[in-house]
Amino acid sequence: MSTPVEKIKERVTIEDVVSSYVKLEKAGKNFRARCPFHNEKTPSFYVTPDRGTFYCFGCGAKGDIFSFVEQFEGLDFMGSLKLLAEKAGIDLAAERAKGGWGAKADTAAKSEKERLYAVMEASAKFFEENLMLGSGPYAAAAAEAREYVKKRGITEETAKDFRLGFAPKEWRLLYTYLREQKFTDAEIEKAGLAKRPEPQLGMASPGGSNVGSGSSSVIQEKNPYDRFRDRIMFPINDSSGRVIAFSGRILHDDEKSAKYLNSPDTPLYTKSTVLYGIDKAKQDIRLKNYSIMVEGQMDLVLSHQAGIKNTVAVSGTALADTVMSRDNVVNNLGIVRRLSSNVILAFDSDSAGRKAAMRSAQIALSLGMDVKIAQIVGGKDPADMVLEDPESWKSVLRAAKPIVEFQLDAVMAEVEADKLDARKIPPLLRERVLPFIVAVEGTMEKAHYVKMIHERTRLDFDAIRIDLKDVERKLAAEKAAAAAPGKAQNRPSDAPNGASGQGTANNAILSGTAQVTRLDMISRKLFGLLAYLTREKSPLDIDGIRAAIRRLAGDERYDNLIRSIGPFEEELALEAEVFFGSDTGPAIQKNIDELLLNFEEDIIKQEMSAAMAQLATLEKKKGDSTAEEHAHELMKKCQVLGIRLSELAHKRNL
């Protein structure tokens, strides 16, 4: 029986997948492009149709259609499987129902993450039904919620498309429902859907009663209570469309609760890695080659309803100032940048919105993006404009200006309105304009803006350049100070893990969503396959295979791999079942032998790379007998490793 992975690869080619994200050009039998995983001007990213693989000579990114989607979209394996299955026209639910992959991965055997995805999906459906079909004691509240959505200008079709829902004002309505669906307290809490009250003195806890009397009585409620109550619910999806979090807009403002309440960080949801609406906007962002970034959920929903579907929303989360997180997960702005480097920031016109826009612009510029600002006036937000007149919103977007020009206009308007002395202009420029020019990539682009300032202000051209250099040095010093020991440091680069040559020698299994080196992916498949075979009581010598892995990896590396795989064993086993099918007998040995060969080959290459780097350092110590002796030993080691690589290559060709 073919697995979904095999069926997908039969129907969808590597060039089909990659070309839907980046522009490919023919290069002999292959295709090439500018790598989407790091900044480059000359194409070094190649797609090989015959092998169904991609490889970048610039940063080392490599893999097949699944690893490409994982890395580009910031998804895990199951997320990439879902996207590619849709592209290939394969119904995963039907495949599971046939008794194919995942038939053995029932509710009890699913990985923790799969269970959390299930509880989030169940909650989304619960909220949807409460809004659209609210009945019984909640019928009146549901009708009021629907009326609120309607007054905000959202049509019923749009509400269904975005899966808007309603959480009634009850302490344990969702919690009770999810328990009836066989989800555990731990799963409900870990998904961020419920929480437990803190012990309190002499006060009743949510939905409970006071116990004892006097100020010394301690209240400890046993059961969790719903995090979201009396709120219009907006499901937040990952790039593949799976629900990973919620944002709730309060229906009755009590002047105590937050207007918008978002899910906390969970194993599925990290605020810095998600933008609301990215699953619906990504195709239009690619087609139009620019994104529009708004603040809130209402802004986004109504913008999409008006036909402007390349819109995403930050929805109360700050934009990350790196492309990759410390766990090798693509951050929110990193995902948008991979789709298009052009962005229009259209935040609210209040002071908080302007401040957020300026900070976001600075970050986007530092990541090499082309940033424009949409001028929204009169204290309005995009949702207000769409509700009044969708065309006015489109006009504002068409009139968006590059951030430097926008800031310069604002300074000059302020000078003119307040009739400030010309001597006041330079300080304003140094504070509000020059920092953005510093962040702009390209000498000619910076010169263009210096000339623009000169022509608009009549300030000396060379003086502006000198001030720009001063601001640049000041910002560099501040950045260096922030990265000093004891402060925030070790920021990941945009390059995939291992691109610098350091790799993850002792910890190749990734706990995040992006598998970025071949050794990472080989290790993941190998250990996942062993976990699957162990679970299915395979007749193969599993202990012998593990011993072979330990011999190849060495004790330290092997122990690190085992430690890192623990929390993800069921997830990896499920991946192995999907990839290799249900045959756990001798037929699978060929796959194991191939994985072991690749595993050993990559470890040897890593060791050779490390040895060559040491040799290069030792060559600078001429005349040092100890260094020369060490260099001689390293050369002998490289020779042995080279011979073993040749043997493996010969073995591969047999």
Residue 378: pLDDT band with limits 50, 70, 90: confident
CATH code: domain 272-390 is: 3.40.1360.10
pLDDT tens per residue across span 267-301 = 999 888 889 999 999 999 999 999 999 998 999 99
Quick one: pLDDT at residue 208? 47
The answer to whether 80 touches 538, Cβ cutoff 8 Å, is no
Q: Is 316 left (phi over 0), alpha (psi -120 to 50) or beta?
A: left
Quick one: pLDDT at residue 323? 59
Q: Report the run of H or E that residue 232 belongs to, with start and end.
A: strand 231-237
Residue 232 has pLDDT above 90, yes or no: yes
The mean pLDDT of 319-323, rounded to a whole number, is: 63
Nearest to 530 by CA among 506, 561, 505, 556: 561
Residue 220: pLDDT band with limits 50, 70, 90: very low
Maximum Cα–Cα distance across the chain: 89
The mean pLDDT of 26-35, rounded to a whole number, is: 90
- Which range among 181-195, 348-362, 417-431, 472-486 shows the weakest confidence by mean pLDDT? 472-486
Quick one: pLDDT at residue 203? 46
Residue 84 has pLDDT above 70, yes or no: yes
Q: How far apart are CA 506 and CA 528, in angstroms?
A: 18
The mean pLDDT of 389-412, rounded to a whole number, is: 93
The mean pLDDT of 522-548, rounded to a whole number, is: 89
Q: Quick one: fold of 112-197+222-262?
A: DNA primase DNAg catalytic core, N-terminal domain (3.90.980)
Quick one: pLDDT at residue 535? 84
Quick one: pLDDT at residue 200? 59
* Domain 4-97 grouped into CATH 3.20.20.70: no
3 state DSSP class of 511: coil
Location of structure tokens 């194409």: 43
More confident of the two residues 376 and 263 = 263
Quick one: pLDDT at residue 620? 74
Q: Which of 401-405, 411-415, 561-565 has maximum average pLDDT?
A: 401-405
Task: Provide the mean pLDDT of the chain.
Answer: 83
Quick one: pLDDT at residue 654? 61
Quick one: pLDDT at residue 435? 93
Residue 260: count other Cβ atoms within 10 Å of its Cβ. Answer: 17
Residue 99 has pLDDT above 80, yes or no: no
Phi/psi of residue 527, nearest 5 degrees: -70, -35
